[in-house]
Structure 1
Amino acid sequence: MRDIRTQAETGARLEDRRVWIAVAALTVAGFLLRLACAHGDLWLDEIWSVNHIRNLANAGAILWRLPSTNNHILNSLWLWIIGSKAPVVLIRLESIIVGTLTVPVAALLCGRSGPVAAITGAALAAGATIFVQYGSEARGYAGLLLMIFVAAEALECFLEKPSTAARFGFAGAVALGALFHLTMLPAAATLTAATLLRSKFRGRSFAEVLVNGLDPALMGIIGAAPALALLAASILNTHRIETGALTPFSVTALGQSLTSLYAATLGLPFDLPLPFALLLCLGLTGLAVLLLAPERLVLPLATLLLPAAFAALTRAPNVQYPRFYLIAVLGLVLLVSDVTQKFWRQRCWAALFGLGGFLLVGNAIHLEKLFVFGRGNIRPLVARMEHDGATTFGTNMPLETWVSLHFYDPRGALTLVQSRDWCARPPNWYVLTDRPGEKLPDAFGPGGCAGPYRLATVVERAPLSGLGYALYHAPHPPR
């Protein structure tokens, strides 16, 4: 009997060792993928982040004198340390590192369902488009994703056995996540709500659920305090707050945002018509619901449904940005990991390898575009425009295009002509920003006095982040 038990324990340890060797290999692969995709020019949001820290006297100004929604504090501190003139890979190195750390954390979290689930979670964190793209650009989203997974793991430990380590692990993850990006706060609220639902699902009374729920809720509030205090200090010190443009709520935009999260995580096409994309995402989620045990569905479905429902009920602005709903990525990774574990246990080899192949091929196609196009390379555009010396340009997005082009125009040879002046001073070039596939009409602008312009070149970009450009030139530029 003792020999049988010893053999079982040895087999379990061997399986454990093999799993973590696989996770280590996937972690290295995830690092190399992020490194490979970190080349290419910075894009608008990264440029704004670099510009913010250029003239700061000290790092403290980032903490309490920079009240901007574009100030992802831990990312800004990294940029201040290395300087605005650092090589682009070094500028993005912090995101590469913290993004890579998500791989073993995802394996630990998903591995509660079994070894295949652990490897699946690690593989998705290593190579899914959303992890690689946000893990290779100088923004706070890679750190946010890491802390979402750490917070979820801390709450798993809390559900198994409430402890001081689990409580403070959750609070620490919320604190660091919010310093990477403030959308950690709604993510933490979603995780707390899911923990309450899971406690109720396990048969505890309503009173017990409320009492047990006070722990993570209180620790979440404690974790949120540093980021909120620094934001308040910045506003009080400068008497202002900088936000980007606020786009009114739209059901269509929210639907596109959520389907983009599915595409970037599971490797689905990005350009499907919205009704078809929604049906496909609902169908895949429904299939997971049919396959998995109800208790395993509470957390994933909470992350997918609660933030979207809250945005719809409050008619939140800027729902068109998938990066504001990264908590849903956690839910997708958990669902896929649990499904692959079930296929493995039931020896459904065709389904297992079919799912794995689909995830691999779809994400490989997306990552190939990221590797080739980056986030929209600006320097070739500037070089083309400045080929014959100083010149002028107009654009459909004056502020965004000027900031992007000026960053890569050290000679200051480009002059922006505002639309009101196009009739009196027709620009030599026209930059159609963020709509590179759209055809420029022969006449446009105030009174239709601009044009015709001929297409000179198109700068493409990968999905999720970045800007694409279509560059047009006047047939006979004014002298």
Structure 2
Amino acid sequence: MTGVDQGANRRWWWAVFAIAVAGFALRFVCSLGDLWFDEAWSAVQARDALTPIGVFTGINHDNNHHFNSVWMQTVGFGGWPPLIRMLSILSSTAAILVAARIAEPRGRITMVITALLFAISPLLVTMGSEARGYASMTLAMLVAILFIDRWLAGDMAYRRPTTLALCFFLGAFSQLTMIFAAVALVGWPFFVLWKRDGFQAAVIETFKLFWLPMLALVSVLGFVLLAGQLAGTGFRFGRYDPFELFQYLHGITTMIGYTVGFPWKDVWPIAYVLVLLVLAPSWGASRMALYRIAIFGFPFLLGVLHAGNVAHARYYLTAGVPLLLMLAEMIGHGLAQTNWKRVAAVIGLAAMAGGSLYCDMVLAIDQRGDPGGAVRTMQARAPGGTTMLLDRDTGLAMTEVAAARWGYKVKIALGRCDPQAHFLLVDRFQGEFFPTKVDRCGMHFVPIAQHRMRSLSGTEWTLFERQP
């Protein structure tokens, strides 16, 4: 590479770094509210586990994302929300740079577009600004994609089973959906090698590269299951919903919508993505085996197996990340043309950027419901402390974490009456109805504060105050 080329390349990378800084700022702004249900529950589990060893051996629950829980212990219960979420914020910001590095051989324009889409995608901004393990799992997945992509392109310096094993190991201890990612990461090079070198050679080479990473992945899964058995609890799920077609379609369409910035409640995005998969090769997409397995094969398999808990968009993050990579390649290819493809690419990029930034703005306003608002309202009306009723147990962890953060003394009555109760908190998830009249334990309550939300994750709530 000449000096001129090197200088130009550095300027393009400075643009990528600027986008990553903007992505960090966006995630930080979206992390300011108090912890919502899933995060607060993890915080309580981490607090009760006492030590990092307790995180790995004592919780044994699908809500425990191990590295995230250890980070929560390090920060402390009731800490500043952006600091509690900093592991996700930094992981998601680093993912922007890794994604750009993956795209670099496809052209500088594609590299910058990839960085931009990963910086503003509402799905990644949401997962990258809350205290869960999805962002660090995504980072591990992207690093693995980078090494596999370069190796398939002929650079043997990237043929590193140990590095891939580390990605699988760290990714699985970040979030166990790394198991789904691993299927795509192994299947992708196998099909490429099968087409290029024949079936037998593909089997041998895939085994040589991936026996250690798969061993690392199986070791994590075995450790998690064994820890549950030794603790006498087994590995537990907070909630397991059987397969339902409507919920399955809802989860997929929500993932697609929040990946590209158009979270419309309809099934048409599925057809849209299937069409894109067909058109992608003619639009410059170069990792079709990965895209077909991750974007189509993985959700299709879940439907065939009638898996449970399929209504959540985060369940399909393994498909959302490759979808963004594919779209960035297609847009970058279109912008390099001089015909109608350039116009289509400009329109597509503008639509995704506009829709994504709008969704990010909504998340920044919603702050996942900011359950601390209820605590701050009680603190303003009863500065010396209070007693409150809870409508159901899903509000317990959120209230405990927010009260610890704001240093407010609140006695919580759950599942029983307390004549001293002055407030009642009713929490709901999106789609659930709030009561219009609230009379509990012979007392009448009226609403004094509430928070409704329109973003991907969070909790809605209404705070009621007792009347004479």
Does residue 193 in structure 1 map to residue 187 in structure 2? Answer: yes
The equivalent residue for 1:184 is: 178
The equivalent residue for 1:273 is: 265
Q: Distance in 2 between matches of 1:77 and 1:431?
A: 30
Structure 1, residues 448-469: CA drift from partner, whole Å, max 9, x if none?
x999976544312352221122
Q: Is the 8 A contact 2:35 2:402 kept in 1?
A: no
Quick check: 380-389 or 21-30, which moved more?
Answer: 380-389
- Residues 350/433 of structure 1: CA separation in 2 closer, same or farther (3 Å cut): same
The equivalent residue for 2:366 is: 373
- Residues 393/59 of structure 1: CA separation in 2 closer, same or farther (3 Å cut): closer
Instruction: Tell me the amino acid that sits aligned with residue 55 of structure 2.
Output: I
Q: Is the 8 A contact 2:386 2:422 kept in 1?
A: no
Structure 1, residues 226-279: CA drift from partner, whole Å, max 9, x if none?
4224314422431113321101112222222122222222111x2x23234434
The equivalent residue for 1:96 is: 89
Instruction: Tell me the amino acid that sits aligned with residue 440 of structure 1.
Output: P
Match of 2:453 among 461, 464, 470: 461
- Residues 277/469 of structure 1: CA separation in 2 closer, same or farther (3 Å cut): farther
Q: Is the 8 A contact 1:435 1:469 kept in 2?
A: no
- Residues 257/22 of structure 1: CA separation in 2 closer, same or farther (3 Å cut): same
The equivalent residue for 2:413 is: 415
Q: Is the 8 A contact 1:300 1:330 kept in 2?
A: no
Instruction: Tell me the amino acid that sits aligned with residue 435 of structure 2.
Output: L
Does residue 309 in structure 1 map to residue 300 in structure 2? Answer: yes
Q: Distance in 1 between matches of 2:62 and 2:436?
A: 35
Match of 1:338 among 329, 340, 359: 329
Does residue 291 in structure 1 map to residue 295 in structure 2? Answer: no
Q: Is the 8 A contact 2:387 2:421 kept in 1?
A: no
Q: Is the 8 A contact 1:429 1:473 kept in 2?
A: yes
- Residues 216/324 of structure 1: CA separation in 2 closer, same or farther (3 Å cut): farther
Identity of matched residues, %: 23
Q: Distance in 1 between matches of 2:60 and 2:129?
A: 25
Structure 1, residues 363-413: CA drift from partner, whole Å, max 9, x if none?
111111111111111122234457367455453xx2212222233344234
- Residues 235/429 of structure 1: CA separation in 2 closer, same or farther (3 Å cut): closer
Match of 2:163 among 163, 166, 169: 169
Q: Distance in 1 between matches of 2:49 and 2:424?
A: 34
The equivalent residue for 1:28 is: 21
3-state secondary structure, aligned to 1:415: strand
Q: Distance in 1 between matches of 2:361 and 2:22?
A: 15
Q: Is the 8 A contact 1:249 1:319 kept in 2?
A: yes
Quick check: 402-411 or 34-43, which moved more?
Answer: 402-411
Q: Distance in 1 between matches of 2:443 and 2:253?
A: 37
Q: Distance in 2 between matches of 1:253 and 1:264?
A: 16
Q: Distance in 2 between matches of 1:309 and 1:444?
A: 47
Q: Distance in 1 between matches of 2:23 and 2:87?
A: 14
Q: Is the 8 A contact 2:92 2:136 kept in 1?
A: yes
Match of 2:106 among 107, 113, 119: 113
Superposed CA RMSD: 3.0
The equivalent residue for 1:262 is: 256
Q: Is the 8 A contact 2:242 2:309 kept in 1?
A: yes
CA apart distance, 1:144: 0.6
Does residue 215 in structure 1 map to residue 190 in structure 2? Answer: no
CA apart distance, 1:224: 0.8
Unpaired runs of at least 5, structure 1: 1-7
Alignment length (residue pairs): 457
Structure 1, residues 409-468: CA drift from partner, whole Å, max 9, x if none?
4423442346xx89x9999646141147746366999xxx99997654431235222112
- Residues 131/275 of structure 1: CA separation in 2 closer, same or farther (3 Å cut): closer
- Residues 326/405 of structure 1: CA separation in 2 closer, same or farther (3 Å cut): same
Q: Is the 8 A contact 2:147 2:158 kept in 1?
A: no
The equivalent residue for 2:40 is: 47
CA apart distance, 1:41: 0.5
Quick check: 460-469 or 115-124, which moved more?
Answer: 460-469
The equivalent residue for 1:324 is: 315
Q: Distance in 2 between matches of 1:440 and 1:340?
A: 47
The equivalent residue for 1:242 is: 236
Structure 1, residues 304-341: CA drift from partner, whole Å, max 9, x if none?
11221221122111111121221112221221121122
TM-score, L = length of structure 1: 0.86
Q: Is the 8 A contact 1:436 1:469 kept in 2?
A: no
The equivalent residue for 2:5 is: 12
- Residues 82/382 of structure 1: CA separation in 2 closer, same or farther (3 Å cut): closer
